[in-house]
Structure formats: C-alpha cells, structure tokens
Amino acid sequence: MPTPQHNRCFRLRRRPDGRVTGANLELVEEPIPELADGQALVRTLYLSLDPSNRIWMSEMRSYMPPVPLDAVMRGLGVGQVVASRRKDFPVGSLVLGWTGFQDYAVMDDATDEGPYTRLPEPLPAPLTMFLGALGHTGITAYLGMIDIGRPEPGDTVVVSAAAGAVGSIAGQLAKARGARTVGLAGGAAKCAHVVGKLGFDVCVDYKAADWRQQLAAAVPDGVDVNFENVGGVIMDEVLLHLNIGARVALCGMISQYESADATSSWAGQLSIGQLIMRRASMTGFLVLDHADRFPEAIEHLAGLLGDGRLQSDENVVDGLENAIDCLNGLFDGSNTGKQLLRVGEADAG
Amino acid sequence: MPTPQHNRCFRLRRRPDGRVTGANLELVEEPIPELADGQALVRTLYLSLDPSNRIWMSEMRSYMPPVPLDAVMRGLGVGQVVASRRKDFPVGSLVLGWTGFQDYAVMDDATDEGPYTRLPEPLPAPLTMFLGALGHTGITAYLGMIDIGRPEPGDTVVVSAAAGAVGSIAGQLAKARGARTVGLAGGAAKCAHVVGKLGFDVCVDYKAADWRQQLAAAVPDGVDVNFENVGGVIMDEVLLHLNIGARVALCGMISQYESADATSSWAGQLSIGQLIMRRASMTGFLVLDHADRFPEAIEHLAGLLGDGRLQSDENVVDGLENAIDCLNGLFDGSNTGKQLLRVGEADAG
C-alpha cells in the first residue's frame, strides 16, 4: 500500500451550544506531512464515541483541557500503523490511542495526548472490544462498580443509562456479584433489551409518565448502590431512595454536558442533601487514573465474557463523515451499547 | 422545691415556609401530668438550637421523622431531674436528652425520641459544653473532619459557616492537624472573629461582592478538604476549586432547609459534576450513628480545650419564649458559635 497523501479530519471551529453541527466540527481534507524520525502514521480503524467528547468541546472545567479551537477533535481509537519511522511500532501494528476524529494520525510522543499502546498479536478478542468491553468502557464500569459501588449479594443496585456502553456492563458486573439490578433506560424497546439481553432484574422507562412510581416500585428495599451516568432529575429521584450507607459511583452526568458552556441553564441537583440524611457517599472516578488496574479489570471482564455472563453490546456506524450524527445519538437517546465509528479497514498484511 | 404544676411548651401547629413564626410554633401552657412508675420529670436548663430543628419542622425526607403536627417541638437539651419515679435518675441528676422545646419534659423510655444520658458528677466541664464543644456539636465536627475530611499537614481545608457552631470547631480541628484553614462567613466582623479568635488562616466574606475572587485567592493550591455546612452557591463555588482526590464532608446544607417544603424553589447544585472531574468524594454523616465513638471524640476535644488549642464559642439567649427568634437567627446569619437557649436554672441541691 502506498503511503497515503491526504487526511480527512474534523476540526473544532466553534464550541457547541446544544447539539453538535457542522458549524462546530468541520470536516476538512488536508495533506499528510512527511514523517520525521520517531513518528509513525496510524490509520484510524474504529473511533470510540463517548459523552466525554462533548465535554472536551466545551470550556467546562474537566479532567482534560478543552480541545483548542481549530484543533483536530480529540478521540480515542484503535488503528493500524501504515508508515513508520520508529522501531517499536512497525508497519502493520495494531494500536490503541488518541487518534482523534480523523482518517490518519501522526503518532508523536512529544505532542500526543497520551502514549499509544500496541495491541497483542494475535488479537485475543475482536478489535472493537478494545474500545468497548475490554477497553476504557468496560474498565470504567469495573472500577466504578467494584471499587466504589461494592455491591454485596442481595443489594439493590440502580444503574442509569443502563442500555448505554458503560451502564450495560456495570449492571451485569453487579448481577454477577449477586446483586439485584435495576436499570433506567429510555423507551420500552431499550427496557426490554436491558432485561431480556443484559439480564437486569427490572428496567424503568424514564420516558414513561409514571417513571417515578415505576422506580419506587422497583426498589421496595431502597437503593444500596447507584451507578450514575445521567445526573439531573434521574439522579435526584434515585437519591430519594438511598438506603443508609449507600454508595453512589458518579461516572457521568450526560444530562448536563450539552449545556456545559452555559452553566446558568443547568438543571441543578436538588437532592444532594439526601447524602446527609442517608449517610451516603458519592464518589467521582476516572478510568485514566488507574492504568495499574487495567490488567486486573481486563482479566475479570474477559472471564465473564468467556463464561457468557457478560454481553457486549456494540453499535457500529460506518464512515468518518458520520461522526457528528453518531455523537449526537448519544444525547438524543437513540444509541444502545458502545457507540463506534468504523473509519477504516485493517490491512490483513 | 414543690413539684411544678404547669409546663410551657412550643407545639408545631403548621409547617413553616421560610422563616418560622408564632403561627408555626405556638407557645402554650399546659398542666404537667402526674408521673407514672418509670417516669421522671426533667426541668430543661439549656436547649440546643440547630439548623436541623428547621428540617424536622418540614416534611423533608430526613434522618428522623418530621415532628407531627400539634406535637411538642423536638429539641436536644440538658436538664435536671426535679421529680422522679425511677431509681437511675434521682432528683437532682443532670441529664442530656430530647427534652423538646419546653420547660419540663416527662422522661419516659417507652415514648421518648431516645434515651436520656446522665451526666457525670461532678461535671468535668461547664454544663453548656455538653450541648456544644463536648456534645453533638463538637462530636459532629470531629467525625466529619477526622473520618471523612482526613486533612494532612499542608492540606487546604475550606469550612463554610466557619463562625457557626460546628464549622468553628471543624476548622480548629483541621488547624490542629497542621492544615491550612480557609473559612467562609458572612460579614467583616464574623470574618475577623474566625481569623482572630478561631485561628483560621483566612476567612472569605461571602456577603462581599467579590467573594468568588476572594475564595480563589485564598486557595491558590486548590482545596483538599471541604467541610460543608451551607450548600447552594457557596458549595458550588468551592467544588470548582477541588483538587484531585479531594474529600467533601457533607455535614449540612443550611441554605436549603428553609425551602424544604417547597422543593421546586430549591437552588439546585450546579457543580456536582466536579466530583467526577476531580475524582473527589462527598460523604454525608450523622453524629447519631456513632455513639461508640463519642468517648474518643470527647477525649480529643477535651484535650484541645485543655491545651487552649480549641476555642469554644457559645451564644446564650435567655428565656424559652425567645426560641423562635433564636432559631431564625441561625438562618439570617446573625448567630455566631453554638446557639443555646437558657430555659431554666439548675437547683444547686
């Protein structure tokens, strides 16, 4: 394969307010620069689309700096080295790293968001799983549920966005530990999926008019663990059911991210005082802090996948050019499972 | 002294919305019933006035049931047994317990909110301290700061309502452990008191127009521990300065209690997402859960008092009839230190 000459990339032109449009992320075609010593060229194969993408586009105080205006949009991907001037990443290597929203990324340790990781050969699992159940997504669910939620057999565990990438795994991890799992998802079809395929005991449809009553009926013994991905009114309602000593693993607050630039319009949390009343704790966490725990998490997750006790949901959309719709799908509730964008095809070498 | 015949008590007639008035708490005079076997009559000497009183008047989901309408208002007091039909509480005993907002309480294990505790004789400290620095107030500060805040030498600890009963002690406990202590209080006089008498390193006047800038300037290295008594915009602003791994000891949210019956008007918390961004935890706690820790806490607090490293602030108002104004003073910012109501005089026996 000749070295590619042109790269399509999304550049952040304007910070979004609400849904993302082409005015925010512009798809442009640019020449690929010649590689310098120590660089390699990575063909993006799959891109992970996550609620956090939306945070990085805003000026919200986050765990990473905002993507600078006019920079290529930040994104985590798996890719393949197609040209290389470094020995540790020969052509053909499969890699995990911050490829960004683009066809080709120049890997450069001096400027990248973080180091690339070379994936094992032969691959022990499908490539997409390194962004999903065996990647940051699965490890996030593992750390939040095992370290912070700490469900005991018989505990009631409530997971919001239970049909989503992290929530679906978090609930299954709790179930595998003997907890009673209650999901929250939007719409009857998603709820049926959460119970039928993912094995939650109950799923509450938060789009139903009587969802508060549904939730109350689903947790007659209260809530011991809340694995929270949504925030807003959903979290507020769950907090009203906390048991004494309950643990809230605060993984995400997707309901807030679209107004991250306009704090005055946020729907503030009304029930935080329940943490006092129920002597409960709420703990935020971030997968990126815990690289030392990745092997343990991956072993655990791979074991459950092998046993058939963990179902891995992936939703793959084709084509870099569809990134914006695909990202917005995380916020309008149309997505189920891990949202991936297929950007390129691996070269079988 | 002849056995008293009449009791003045405050009965909760209507749940308040905003400030408490005589329409909410009615002062009535009633005959004292004859004692049955196993009962004793307690003369209230001092009543502890606390933000939680206001919670109990509302229907907010709390750690205790709401005070029923027409019942005597719940309150913690120290008192003296003036008539007794139980051997373990002879006449003259000094006691700590849920006397309620009244001159005389009939002690009855079968119906009381909790058991009375007989205080040691002779008293090792002034009687009022058993409601203040050596009582629930001081122990609350101890548990929240030592167990949840866990300040290390050099940590920056922010305490809201730093001139208040619990906050004043919490900050001094952190200081004694070598932390840098930053208080928040309302008005220049209170701030001068917090620094000058209580020994905080800095105090931010949240009534000043530039209080956000003052806070930012006071925590150049970020916030490691937030001992939170206020909630609302003050807590939101402190959360924006959290360091990675910070601990929030959520003791109270006094800014929210006056609208506890009207949740729709609450000022929701806007910055809870910072717990994720800073991988921080927020933990609610309640002194009543930890009776087994009281001896340890009291020993620690008494030691600091003895060394002169802990200043105990008390604000004593005379007369049961002033309970309403005194309670409202906790919410309009006029109170400093532990707010007590002197209801009666001890009989020297």
* The 3-state secondary structure of B67-125, one letter per residue: CCCCCECCCEEEEEEEEECCCCCCCCCEEEECCCCECEEEECCCCCCCCCEECCCCCCC
Contacts of A281 in chain B (CB under 8 A): 281-284
Contacts of B289 in chain A (CB under 8 A): 279
Q: Provide the shortest C-alpha distance from residue A116 to chain B (in Å).
A: 23
B interface residues, A as partner, C-beta within 8 Å: 60-63, 231, 240, 250-253, 256, 263, 266-270, 272-286, 289
State residue B266's pLDDT score: 60
Angle at B270 between CA B264 and CA B274, to 5 degrees: 150
**pLDDT mean over A323-347:** 93
State residue A11's pLDDT score: 98
pLDDT tens figures, A285-301: 999 999 999 999 999 99
Question: What single letter denotes the amino acid at residue B304?
Answer: L
| Domain residue spans of chain B | 6-129+313-342, 136-307
pLDDT range class, residue A348, cuts 50, 70, 90: confident
CB contact under 8 A, A282 and B278: no
Contacts of A61 in chain B (CB under 8 A): 240, 274, 277
Helix count and strand count (H, E) for chain B = 10, 15
Average pLDDT, chain A: 94
Task: Give the residue from B62, B100, B68 showing the smallest Cα distance to B257.
Answer: B62
Nearest to B263 among A253, A270, A285 (CB): A270
State both tokens at A260.
């991250």
Contacts of A269 in chain B (CB under 8 A): 268-270, 272
Contacts of B63 in chain A (CB under 8 A): 276-279
Euclidean distance between CA atoms B39 and B16, whole angstroms: 32
Cβ contact B106:B32 at 8 Å: yes
Residues of chain B with pLDDT under 70: 1, 260-267, 349
Portion of chain A with pLDDT greater than 70, in percent: 97
Residue B259 burial class via C-beta count within 10 angstroms: exposed 0-12, middle 13-18, buried 19 and up = middle
State residue A347's pLDDT score: 84
Euclidean distance between CA atoms A83 and B165, whole angstroms: 67
State residue A2's pLDDT score: 72
CB contact under 8 A, B285 and A278: no
B256 Cβ contact list (under 8 Å, min separation 6): A273, B231, B232, B266, B267
pLDDT tens figures, B153-202: 999 999 999 999 999 999 999 999 999 999 999 999 999 999 999 999 99
Q: Provide the shortest C-alpha distance from residue A271 to chain B (in Å).
A: 8
Among A58-62, A198-202, B306-310, the least confident range: A58-62
Contacts of A279 in chain B (CB under 8 A): 63, 284-286, 289
Residue A94 burial class via C-beta count within 10 angstroms: exposed 0-12, middle 13-18, buried 19 and up = buried
pLDDT tens figures, A31-58: 999 999 999 999 999 999 999 999 999 9
State residue B265's pLDDT score: 52
Euclidean distance between CA atoms B70 and B60, whole angstroms: 18
Euclidean distance between CA atoms B287 and B284, whole angstroms: 10
CB contact under 8 A, B276 and A240: no
State residue A244's pLDDT score: 97
SS3 call for B339: strand
**pLDDT mean over A317-346:** 94
Strands, E, within chain A: which ranges? Answer: 6-12, 25-31, 40-48, 76-84, 94-97, 104-107, 117-118, 156-160, 180-185, 202-205, 223-228, 242-250, 281-284, 314-318, 338-342
Whether the predicted pLDDT of A256 surpasses 70: yes
Fold of B136-307: Rossmann fold (3.40.50)
Cβ contact A326:A338 at 8 Å: no
Best residue in B212, B251, B272, B293 for a mutation probing chain A (most A CBs within 10 Å)? B272
State both tokens at B139.
């122990």
Euclidean distance between CA atoms A68 and A52, whole angstroms: 15
Nearest to A284 among B63, B278, B286 (CB): B278
Fold of B6-129+313-342: Quinone Oxidoreductase; Chain A, domain 1 (3.90.180)
pLDDT range class, residue A262, cuts 50, 70, 90: very low
The ipTM (two decimal places) reads 0.94
B246 Cβ contact list (under 8 Å, min separation 6): B222, B223, B224, B225, B226, B278, B280, B281
A interface residues, B as partner, C-beta within 8 Å: 60-63, 231, 240, 250-253, 256, 263, 266-270, 272-286, 289
Max CA pair span of chain A: 65
CB contact under 8 A, B280 and A278: no
CB contact under 8 A, B276 and A289: no
Contacts of B267 in chain A (CB under 8 A): 268
pLDDT range class, residue A61, cuts 50, 70, 90: confident
Q: Which helix (H) or strand (E) holds A174?
A: helix A165-176
User: Quick one: A6-131+313-342 is in which CATH superfamily?
Assistant: Medium-chain alcohol dehydrogenases, catalytic domain (3.90.180.10)
Nearest to A250 among B61, B275, B286 (CB): B275
User: Which chain A residue has its CA at the smallest distance from B62's CA?
Assistant: A277
Nearest to B269 among A252, A269, A280 (CB): A269
Nearest to B284 among A63, A263, A279 (CB): A279
* Burial A172-208, CB ≥16 within 10 A → b, else e: bbbbbbebbbbbbbbbeebbebbbeebbbbbbbbbee
User: Which chain A residue has its CA at the smallest distance from B253's CA?
Assistant: A273
State residue A3's pLDDT score: 79
Contacts of B266 in chain A (CB under 8 A): 268, 270
CB contact under 8 A, A276 and B285: yes
Contacts of A63 in chain B (CB under 8 A): 276-279
Euclidean distance between CA atoms A269 and A266, whole angstroms: 9
Between B211-218 and B232-239, two packed helices, what is the crossing angle to 10 degrees? 40
pLDDT tens figures, A82-125: 999 999 999 999 999 999 999 999 999 988 888 999 999 999 99
Q: DSSP character for A3?
A: P
Q: DSSP character for A229?
A: S
State both tokens at A333.
């509730």
Contacts of A277 in chain B (CB under 8 A): 60-63, 284
The residue that leads in pLDDT, B60 or A242, is A242
CB contact under 8 A, A62 and B277: yes
Among A69-73, A304-308, B66-70, B256-260, the least confident range: B256-260
